[in-house]
């Protein structure tokens, strides 16, 4: 049985903000199924009482001293923006027009 369906891949692509084509969906569904069947092998390991490792460096709550540092200027921060307006990032509308 397939580990992942074409419909699930389409749903995941939507969640990931990827406007994939029908052709990509066909291709990815098969490939992701092969990959998932392979990586699912981690489930064979008895690890109920094993703590997870998110990270190999045992450091927590790393802060620098609270001293003001020079940072990017507004112009530098906006220098790579696809669209900027009056010193701000300009974005497409985020709300539907309301009455």
* Binding site residues, another protein, CB under 8 A: 4, 8-9, 12-21, 24, 27-28, 31-32, 34-36, 38-45, 47, 50-57, 59, 62, 64, 72, 76-77, 79-83, 89, 91-94, 96
User: In which residue are the tokens 């112009």 written?
Assistant: 75
In terms of CB distance, is 2 or 79 closer to another protein? 79
**CB crowding 2-24: b at 16 or more within 10 Å, else e:** eebebeebbeebeeeeeebeeee
Q: Provide, rounded to whole angstroms, the least separation between the CB of residue 34 and another protein.
A: 6
């Amino acid at each position: 049985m397939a580990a992942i369906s074409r419909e699930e891949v389409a749903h995941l692509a939507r969640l990931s903000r990827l406007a994939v084509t029908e052709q990509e969906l066909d291709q990815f569904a098969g490939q992701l199924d092969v990959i998932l069947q392979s990586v699912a092998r981690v489930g064979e390991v008895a690890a109920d009482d094993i703590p997870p490792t998110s990270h190999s460096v045992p450091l927590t709550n790393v802060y620098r001293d609270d001293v003001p540092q020079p940072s990017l200027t507004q112009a530098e921060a906006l220098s790579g923006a696809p669209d900027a307006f009056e010193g701000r990032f300009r974005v497409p509308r985020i709300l539907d027009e309301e009455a």
